[in-house]
Structure 1
Amino acid sequence: MMLCLYLTLTHWIVSFQSGVSGLKPDQESKHTILIFCSSIVSCWIRHKKEIVDGPELWAESTDRSSTLVIAEAKPQHTGRYAVVVKDRRSSAEHTLTLSVIERPQPPASGPVVSLVSANSLVLSWSGPCYDGGSAVLGYVVEVKSQGLVESVDWSELATQCESTSFRVSSGLQPHREYRFRVRAYNAVGASKAGPVSPVVRMEEKCVEKPKGEEAPQAYSCVTINSSEKVTDHYSLQERLGMGKFGLVFKLTHKETGRIYAGKFYKGRRAKEREAARKEIELMNYLHHPKLVQCLAAYDHRPEMVMVMEFIAGGELFERIVDDNFEHTESASVRYMHQILEGVAYMHQQNIVHLDIKPENIVCVDTTGTSIKIIDFGLACRLYADTPLKVMHGTPEFVAPEVINYEPVFLTTDMWSIGVVCYILLSGESPFQGNNDVETLALVTAAQWEFDEESFDEITDEAKRFISSLLTKDTRRRMSCEEALHHPWMAFESGDLATTRSLSKEKMKRFLARQKWKVTPQHRAFIRLRCFVLDTFCVCVPFLESRKEHALLSLERKMQGPPHFTRSLEDQAATRGSSARLSCHLTGYPDPEVVWLRAEEPVVESPTVQIEYEEDGRCTLVFAKVGPEDANVYTCRATNDHGEAFCSAKLKVQT
């Protein structure tokens, strides 16, 4: 791969063929930057540290080029590399990603067998913890009959299973015993065999599924459909909710009549579209009954839609405060066990959720006690050689390492689970301050205690469980597997200490506070980001701070109030036709845009949509205008430096 930096008299123009390189292990790798200028210096950087020449990795530089040589590519060389070049007048930096791919690790768990009948069963398993640097394409399912001579080897049942479950419907004999195992494969090849299942004996009759046990679900990987619209297959129903990403609508499948939820992303900017693609990609690794499933995805610019399971039961905490619903410590154990099951599966894939909170724990239906975890918009995959630092989260539930802008780990989720458990049992939040700054300070100091009144009837095992999660040292914090094996998880529903009804009054007050917070959730993210940035700027090394000051200087030059380079114009449309009111907008930071009908904010719906393009074009789209749409419309843009307006009249002709 060759990247070229061309230097003009006034600025650098970067041109490159690809920002990502994939290599198989043991291949030699050379990454060359051709620099058409003189009197320059350059350096290569990996993980924010300058690369020092060594036997495995070294730089070769001349007055016209700089080459990074990796003698023998290995998985530990995977990561982001940057080259910085400088002459007397200017400098430039370019970043690329190197991926060293190999076969994936074996599946993390052996197949679990369910629905055993005379000659069929369903297998389900966990994917590999590491995919080898290349996406897992599928699985090979193998079977071995017990009791036969040792020379009989494993035979293949399926060679291209695309999900983490498989129905075996032929080839099995009644009264015969079998064992199963699975291999994962990617573009390089197949992994070693994963753990072997326990011996399974085929019976004459189907084993009855225990009451309350969830039926196994067939999973499949979702590919984004860019050739069709979501409305080609689903009918749009009422709006279910909204968030920082966009809107959620109820969907009905046109052929089957089944109900789903459609997560409509704004998708008007590159970063929004990339976030949507990342969430969809990660969800292909999260096939578990305690995690909400993505069933389809559509990309029809500027709209991106994720079709999800429709979960009708509502938020868990809302269910608990219902007067007709029993709330005990024993029931809380069951809820926490389900949460841990779902998070444990995520952690087996080396994926961290980073936004575990009550709103993201929902009930499957309106009568049962089964729950699912939702919203993987902030989830990330962790890599051993690439520390991950994030600046997002909800102040009450975020872990100290996030606020301190330190690397996050799988145990970062466990802190949030500890906070959820504390609230579940007491109705109070352990770190709730008078404002977000106070809350973040309490979290950073890890200052909390068991309120004597709230925890008077809670068992000591429950308190020890919470204490093992709300510890600042990530190394001492319980892992998900350790939490699942904690003594508190073994409490039975008949234990006297855990069957007393818990008060719901504090829980009701907690939910009321959440609903009456004045600022929307995304502003809490912004405050957290500012808090972390302030902390981070004090701690960065001297060289990093110099680079930061340069970036801040450029940032200041870009600042400016909103300005309409093209204003709205009056439009006349025939009843039943479509109409568009468009304007062009500039300003930095990117202005927040609000559309008004007369003096009231315009609410998006299936017939009225708001579009915002990266070039600054703002458009109000009417799919089918009616007499009620005739009015004066205003586009209002606001940022830290000012506010701007422009208005136009829409006339509807009958």
Structure 2
Amino acid sequence: YLNKRSLVVIILRLHTKSDNDPASVQSKPTNLFLFIRGRFSVVKRCDHRGTKRTVAVKQVNKKLMRRDRVTQELNLLQRLQHPCIVSLMDTYETPSSYALVLEMADQGRLLDYIVSWGNLTEEKVACYLRNVLEALHYLHNCRIVHLDVKPENLLVAHTASGQPTVKLIDFGDAVQLNSAHYVHPLLGSPEFASPELVLGEPVSLTSDLWSLGVVTYVLLSGASPFLDESAEETCLNICRLDFSFPRDYFQGVSQAARDFVCLLLRTDPGRRPPAGLCLQEPWLQAGLESDANGASDSAESKLPSLTLLRRSTDIF
């Protein structure tokens, strides 16, 4: 892991190398493989000398990640261009790490953003979810499944008009599905994982929709539907579809919002609607009925403690 000073030195070196330098970004692009989850990396806010923009620089420890996995991720990232996906701006390599220079989402993580701005409503939750669904719809049209949709991988950036846009990050687990028999290993906490991922069965594009259903539950209530005292108990809850809408957490939350959660949390992947159909759900449309707009007060009161808990365990 690199401290702030060493990151500055690396940035300076990156932009002072000539195009003829064999170690430069331009002449050795095949050696620049980046963008890994937080268990293997550190992210710093830096100034990009070439563009004068503030960027996020993510350093990945070479000892903790196989080159072929990083190569696969970089190949995916280089193809992606969507306003709801954080874009890859540059890449470089040091003796100890791979690095990527990413678009800076200036408002930080979604949960932190919600807590800091307050006044959370179902209408706002629906807006945030639409952004995520737009990103997933784009990915799924490319036959790419993300497989790590969770609050920590949702950042917020403000547009020129000051409107928030939620952006999906971290493609360390993403894969292009070329067959119906791809089995992905369960990495990290199972909290947002689909039943097929937990059971070691083939994943599908709708595996991401299950994860989004869990995210929706969290945003509406400030609680997590399947999380238990151990990973094993959490996995059992997921496979048994053992969740409910406790009154203490969902008081005032509309039936339409609850129905949307149930639409996504289906154990059979084939019964979950694709992202494109989810975008057409009435609850996600901009013109929500007025009686739904103030319905997430309980979520707003619970999210600060949930955010602190999540910050202590996983940031990037």
TM-score by length of 1: 0.41
Match of 1:428 in 2: 223
Query: Cα gap change, 1:334/1:385 in structure 2, threshold over 3 Å: closer, same or farther?
Result: closer
Richer in helix (by share): 2
Give the alignment of 1:77-92 within 5 angstroms: none
Equivalent residue in structure 1 for 2:142, among 332, 349, 355:
349
Aligned amino acid, residue 283 of structure 2? W
Give the alignment of 1:439-458 within 5 angstroms: 439-458=234-253
Percent identity (aligned):
32
1:417 offset after TM fit, Å? 0.0
| d(CA) in 2 for partners of 1:502, 1:226 | 57
Query: Cα gap change, 1:471/1:498 in structure 2, threshold over 3 Å: closer, same or farther?
Result: same
Query: Cα gap change, 1:427/1:389 in structure 2, threshold over 3 Å: closer, same or farther?
Result: same
Aligned amino acid, residue 307 of structure 2? L
CA contact (8 A) 1:260 1:309 kept: yes
What SS does the corresponding residue of 1:383 show, helix, strand or coil?
Answer: coil
CA contact (8 A) 2:183 2:197 kept: no
| d(CA) in 1 for partners of 2:283, 2:66 | 41
CA contact (8 A) 2:227 2:234 kept: yes
Match of 1:320 in 2: 114
What SS does the corresponding residue of 1:475 show, helix, strand or coil?
Answer: helix
Match of 1:358 in 2: 151
| d(CA) in 1 for partners of 2:110, 2:303 | 12
Match of 1:509 in 2: 305
Match of 2:69 in 1: 275
| d(CA) in 1 for partners of 2:49, 2:100 | 17
Query: Cα gap change, 1:380/1:247 in structure 2, threshold over 3 Å: closer, same or farther?
Result: same
1:387 offset after TM fit, Å? 2.8
What SS does the corresponding residue of 1:370 show, helix, strand or coil?
Answer: strand
| d(CA) in 1 for partners of 2:294, 2:197 | 36
Query: Cα gap change, 1:509/1:249 in structure 2, threshold over 3 Å: closer, same or farther?
Result: closer
Equivalent residue in structure 1 for 2:128, among 335, 349, 359:
335
Post-superposition CA distance 1:130-149 (Å, at most 9, x none): xxxxxxxxxxxxxxxxxxxx
TM-score by length of 2: 0.82
What SS does the corresponding residue of 2:58 show, helix, strand or coil?
Answer: strand
Q: Which runs of 5+ in 1 are unaligned?
A: 1-224, 231-241, 523-654
1:380 offset after TM fit, Å? 0.8
Give the alignment of 1:200-215 within 5 angstroms: none
Post-superposition CA distance 1:354-412 (Å, at most 9, x none): 11110111111496321111111111111135433323253111111111100000011
Moved over 4 A (4+): none
| d(CA) in 2 for partners of 1:429, 1:465 | 16
Post-superposition CA distance 1:598-629 (Å, at most 9, x none): xxxxxxxxxxxxxxxxxxxxxxxxxxxxxxxx
| d(CA) in 1 for partners of 2:46, 2:304 | 31
**Aligned-pair Cα RMSD in Å:** 2.6
What SS does the corresponding residue of 2:126 show, helix, strand or coil?
Answer: helix
What SS does the corresponding residue of 2:200 show, helix, strand or coil?
Answer: coil
| d(CA) in 2 for partners of 1:319, 1:344 | 24
Equivalent residue in structure 2 for 1:475, among 247, 253, 270:
270
Query: Cα gap change, 1:386/1:454 in structure 2, threshold over 3 Å: closer, same or farther?
Result: closer
Give the alignment of 1:47-196 within 5 angstroms: none
Match of 1:113 in 2: none
Query: Cα gap change, 1:342/1:451 in structure 2, threshold over 3 Å: closer, same or farther?
Result: same
CA contact (8 A) 1:401 1:407 kept: yes
Match of 1:293 in 2: 87
Match of 2:5 in 1: none
| d(CA) in 2 for partners of 1:355, 1:364 | 20
1:276 offset after TM fit, Å? 2.0
Match of 2:34 in 1: none
Query: Cα gap change, 1:428/1:501 in structure 2, threshold over 3 Å: closer, same or farther?
Result: closer
| d(CA) in 2 for partners of 1:318, 1:385 | 37
Q: Which runs of 5+ in 2 are unaligned?
A: 1-19, 26-36
CA contact (8 A) 2:180 2:204 kept: no
Match of 1:392 in 2: 187
Post-superposition CA distance 1:10-56 (Å, at most 9, x none): xxxxxxxxxxxxxxxxxxxxxxxxxxxxxxxxxxxxxxxxxxxxxxx
1:336 offset after TM fit, Å? 0.7
| d(CA) in 2 for partners of 1:375, 1:427 | 23
Match of 2:177 in 1: 382
Aligned amino acid, residue 394 of structure 1? S
Aligned length: 284
| d(CA) in 2 for partners of 1:479, 1:394 | 24
Higher RCO structure (Cα 8 Å, ≥6 apart) = 2
Equivalent residue in structure 1 for 2:52, among 257, 281, 284:
257
CA contact (8 A) 1:331 1:493 kept: no
